[in-house]
Structure 1
Amino acid sequence: MTLPVVHICIATGQNAANLIPLEQYDAREVWILQTPAMRHSAANLAMVLKREGRVVERLDFDDSSPGVMAHRATEIAERLDGRHVILHATGGTKLMVLALRDGLRYVEAGEGRLDILYAETQRQQIDWLGAEARTDAMADVLDLRQMLLVQGYRIEGDNRHAAAQQRAASRADITRDMGDNAGRYGKFFSSLATLASRAAEGASERDRTQAFHYAPGGQSAVLMRKAHDKGLLQWDGEETVTFASQETAQYFAGGWLEEFVLLKLTGGLVRPGRFSSNLRILSVDKNVPNEIDAMVVHRNRALLIECKTGRQTKAQDAIYKLAQLRQQLAGSVGSALYVSAQPVDDNVLQRATEYKVDVLCGADVGRLVPWLKDWLAR
């Protein structure tokens, strides 16, 4: 006789660890236990599951004392006689899990069944306890949209639409040149970004014309001629440069590095739907906006990428913000990468190490693909 299955999970700040087994085992009915501190997290998890057509129930779970937890676990068990109960032990405190395990064992005193699973995201496996103990390999089930939604964020806009992809493809050779040879261009990137920023922020067409302190030469002049031939800007070999449009100015002000990352990601490294660039997201409950230069989801882990092209005056602040966003959007198994066309100081590298943010700067920008391949293989 096949018993109707119900999955019971405990809302946690690491919601992805709850969602992964629910997706992997196609849970159709889910009960989410929410402590007073985790009601918001429970709401985010329930939202994702309901959008997928699953039956979801949120149950309050008072965790103020062991006695109260034991009593509540027994109450829940009384509703589950004759059911196959799968308890997700990934969330909650140890005391909560023990109380639930002991309380839900009453299910087996009747005609029900109890199994317990634990999602080990670091090791990419799901462990089962009970009469048939086993370990399953964790399936790659979460996409970019799910990863954000389960943490309470929705996508407001990104560069996945066709127009942005075509625009990036039309100037891909210039973009790759700048990224692959970032070390050769050195401080020229800072000068170019400064002028392009002024042009992008200008109120009139005249503002699209800017002037270097001196005429670019050498490798920088070769780049400028390529950009001129592509119609991205007008340059006659002297100090003056005219950007073709405000959008083009935004590209040279820093957007090119984001496109460089996007071009590498679209080269087949990551599955469609698992990455994007120039992401604009909003928290579901507070409408608080955030921007992410690029984000990748692979094997249920997220990577956030921040791109900088000009002189790094507030690099430590940017790295701190990136580390905070990683924690909010990706949790304990998330990664963060800071990509800078300019070299960064040793104190910035030290701060990045403290916040567990990886850095590719200067000539190392050209190593982006090997770095991504290494991250994907972890």
Structure 2
Amino acid sequence: MSLPVLHVCIATGQNAANLIPLEQYDAREVWILQTPAMRQSAANLEMALRREGRTVLRIDFDDSSPATMTQAATAIAERLDGRHVVLHVTGGTKLMVLALRDGLRYVEAGDGRLEILYADTARQQIDWLGAEARTDAMGDQLDLRQMLLVQGYRIDGDSRHAAAQQRAAARAQVTRDMGDNAARYGRFFSSLAVLASRAAESGQERDLTQHFHYPPGGQSAQLMRLAHDKGLLSWDGEETITFADRAVAQYFAGGWLEEFVLLKLTGGLLKPGRFSSNLRVLSGDRNVPNEIDAMVVHRNRALLIECKTGQQGKAQEAIYKLSQLRQLLGGSVASALYISAQPVSEEARNRANEYHVQVLCGEDIGRFVPWLREWLSR
């Protein structure tokens, strides 16, 4: 019985490019070459690869000099006599790749076979080099769990649970009205959020009752009547409102925007297992928690979403945090979207551009689904 094809890859800081072809070609035996600087990255890749029947081996690779790289490549080649080897050259330095290519050519001196592939995530293709050169379309391989694992994180909690879904469904009409008509509400969102925050942060039952400076009118009055009819609050038609409980107050303080995004994500645009909201993840080595309002994975790319109802003074801080999480959780090809119910200042927009974070705010919130469709088509 012939041995399975052996895949040899180099651990890198962008391991999704390693994992994609390994999944696409159903690699059953994988050797991960780890330099001293990439031991943790190799461990992340191994964690993402582990499943029934798959053999994964991590091998130290000394990249301190051309001589040590040549020696390491030769030692690896001696262990592969007679094997069908696929060398992944997506990771590693140019010198490492050259040393491995030259060293592994000894495999073909006997009964072995060597193929070389490069995963081009930007072009969504996998290039095969050698006598039978070809290009394969890159398949949609990675789900949310795999994307996080290969980046060194695991899911600690999210809001896909039934209870959260039921709560969101019960007030979906209110949520959709607020998001779809965000342009019409204007500053009313800020007034409502301030009152809701006071009620949510207080431990006193009496503080569930709050007062506007003036009675809501027009579209805002329609929203208050809808919320009243749904049992979320009581409104006397004038300045006074009473939130049903602290959880409802938290909803109007900002949680509604997260639920708006969740409702749109669950509308059939995405595959199961490719998105989550109110996500809490832990790093594998330090157990440091990170939270993100929503994350989507499509065609091996991640999209991280942060939702804010107002808080103009905190916009730049939130945008900076989102840009950091984009790199940590999604890697170099990930995207980030900042959604705000209130307009974003020019200074904050400039900061978003600097950090490669896209912005939807105010009246643009209703364009979230068209924006998402465009991102999915890229």
AA matched with 1:323? S
Aligned to 1:350: 350
2:81 corresponds in structure 1 to 81
Which TM-score applies when normalising by structure 2?
0.98
Q: Distance in 1 between matches of 2:321 and 2:189?
A: 23
The question of whether the paired residues in 1 share the 8 Å contact of 2:189 and 2:341 is answered with: yes
The separation in 2 between residues aligned to 1:52 and 1:281, in whole angstroms, is 24
Percent identity over the alignment is 80
Deviation at 1:223, TM superposition (A): 0.5
- Provide the alpha-carbon RMSD of the alignment: 1.2
Q: Pick closer, same or farther for the CA change 1:68–1:89 going to 2, 3 Å.
A: same
Q: Determine the structure 2 residue equivalent to 1:337.
A: 337
SS in 1 for 2:272: coil
Q: Which residue of structure 2 aligns with residue 138 of structure 1?
A: 138
Q: Summarize the Cα distance change of 1:52–1:328 in structure 2 as closer, same or farther, 3 Å threshold.
A: farther
Summarize the alignment of residues 37-56 of structure 1 with structure 2, pairs less than 5 Å apart: 37-56=37-56
Q: What secondary structure is seen at the aligned counterpart in 1 of 2:268?
A: helix
What does residue 303 of structure 2 align with?
A: 303
> In structure 1, what is the equivalent of residue 213 of structure 2?
213
Q: C-alpha separation between the residues in 2 aligned to 1:73 and 1:246?
A: 62
Tell me if 1:93 matches 2:84: no
How many equivalent residue pairs? Answer: 378
Quick one: distance in 1 between partners of 2:267 and 2:14?
A: 31
Look up the equivalent residue of 1:331 and give its one-letter code: G
Distance 2:209 2:89 in 1: 61
Give the deviation of 1:3 after TM superposition: 5.0
Q: Quote the Cα distance in structure 2 between the aligned partners of 1:93 and 1:329.
A: 23
Residue pair 1:322, 1:336 contacting (<8 A) in 2 also: yes
CA distance in 2, matches of 1:280, 1:157: 5
Q: What does 1:163-312 align with in structure 2 at a 5 Å threshold?
A: 163-312=163-312
In structure 1, runs of 5+ residues without a counterpart are none
Q: Deviations over 1:264-289 (max 9, x none)?
A: 11111111110111101111111111
Q: Is the 8 A contact 1:297 1:303 kept in 2?
A: yes
**Counterpart code for 1:275:** F
1:133-186 Cα distance to aligned partner (Å, 9 max, x none): 110000101001111111111111111111111211111111111101111111
- Give, in whole Å, the separation in 1 of the partners of 2:343 and 2:4: 59
8 Å contact from structure 1 (residues 142, 297) kept in 2: yes
C-alpha displacement of 1:4: 3.0
Q: Which residue of 2 aligns with 1:12?
A: 12
1:106 Cα deviation after fit: 0.7
1:3, 1:112 within 8 Å by CA — same for their partners in 2?
A: no
Q: 1:94 and 1:309 mapped to 2: Cα distance?
A: 47
Paired with 1:38 and 1:205, the residues of 2 have a C-alpha distance of 54
User: Is the Cα–Cα contact under 8 Å of residues 319 and 357 in structure 1 kept in the other structure?
Assistant: yes
